[in-house]
Amino acid sequence: MKLLLDTHIFLWALLEPERLPPPAAQILENPKNELWLSPISLWECLVLAEIGRITLDPDSETWIREVRKSHNFKEAPLTTEVAIISRRITLTHEDPADRFLAATAQVFELTLLTADRRLQGCPDIELLMVSTSA
């Protein structure tokens, strides 16, 4: 399966694996699955670090570069088509990061792995929802 990781899934897997629902951990560990990341998720990580919601050591830019080198994530490019589709995607909210992630999933025919219930009703993409107790 070709999976686009929602930002929180990516961060939980690397920074707080205890928060990752067990089914999601199994999915991420399955070598048959291709794991994709959007630059939007990396941008969200930088923003979260800037506002103090997460700590990325030794600094956020180095952390992101090291993760990209040390993990086998495929990069889903931010293209013109993704930008166009981000405005047409059917979501109940206007969070730009969610819109870009959903559009990326649609354009590149990826399944979005998420625990974000706000994405649950999106008919335009394949979703793999994992539930959390939090």
Report domain extents, the chain: 2-129
pLDDT of res. 133: 61
Q: What dihedral do alpha carbons 110, 23, 27, 123 form, nearest 10°?
A: -10
Q: What is the DSSP-derived secondary structure letter of residue 19?
A: G
**Tokens of residue 18, six digits:** 């205890």
Q: Which residues of the chain have pLDDT under 70?
A: 133-134
CA neighbor of 87 nearest in space, from 74, 72, 60, 106:
106
| CATH classification for the domain delimited by 2-129, as one of 3.30.470.20, 3.40.50.300, 3.40.50.1010, 3.20.20.70 | 3.40.50.1010
Question: What pTM value is reported for the model?
Answer: 0.93
